[in-house]
Amino acid sequence: MELSTEWIEYRAGGEPVSAYRARPAETREPLPAVIVIQEVWGPDAHIQDVADRLAAAGYLALAPDLYSHGARPPELEPDRIARAKGFLEGLPPAAWMDPAKRAEALAELPPREGGPIGETLASLLPAERPMDRYLAVLRAAVAFLREDPAVDGHVASIGFCLGGGLSALLACEEPTLDAAVIFYGMSPAAERVDGVACPVLGFYGAEDRRITSGVAVLAAAMAEAGKDFEAVVYAGAPHAFLNDTRSSYRPAAARDAWARTLAFLARMAPARTVAPDAANA
């Protein structure tokens, strides 16, 4: 399928946000929209590929660059993020979130290399992320899409890792959202789920214990609040099992999760059907 893809700009809190936009090229009819929320690496090739896959399935996909809000800081330029990602890929997963272990590994690099990577990692993996700022950027994206004549009025979200947690938070905070998909994202605090007004679907890897350990609490809170939530946990799957650019990719889990995602999103704006006898009339 031929796709129409471009980088566009919208505004959040009066400041510009860059976003990757994809849709089928050969249709002019309004489409349901899906906000694709980045991993910590930004809207890189993998996130753009997810947006393209959704466009090929009949959606208008928008992937905001959370780091571009206002102006992207130098340490978060894509080339520097790529170098930091390469550095982390060479470390055991347990060291990723351990500042002391990261500092130890950085000290083994030449200063001209380790210094910039350290700056980028400090921004990518801070003790406290500006989640409220990111959430405001995403809520602005919802409003932007609802005003887009190319959108049929339905807007969903799907997020990965950092973006998975943000997809869950968006469902808690944005009452007009039609559906939310979480891929291995941190669960929101139980007291926030009262605000959920749409169906939520979450995918997790059993080996990703830091993330998956919070799912039972989320499921219980959602059930108690009467919310529509399904959690799918894949045996043997690690964090980022859908990301086919990384060694964490697990084809079976990714295949099943993607099929379930498309079926779930199709509920947001189902196609009209007719009885077989009416079709032949």
Q: Which residues are catalytic, by number? A: 161, 208, 239
> What is each CA distance from 222 to 6, 155, 168, 183, in whole angstroms?
37, 21, 12, 17
Amino acid at 278: A
Quick one: which H or E segment has residue 103? helix 99-106
Backbone angles phi, psi at 134, to 5 degrees: -60, -40
CA-CA distance, 95 to 100, in Å (whole number)?
8
Contact present, 35 and 106 (Cβ < 8 Å)? no
DSSP category for residue 74: G
- Two structure tokens written together for 65: 């660059």
Instruction: Return the CA Rg of the chain.
Output: 19
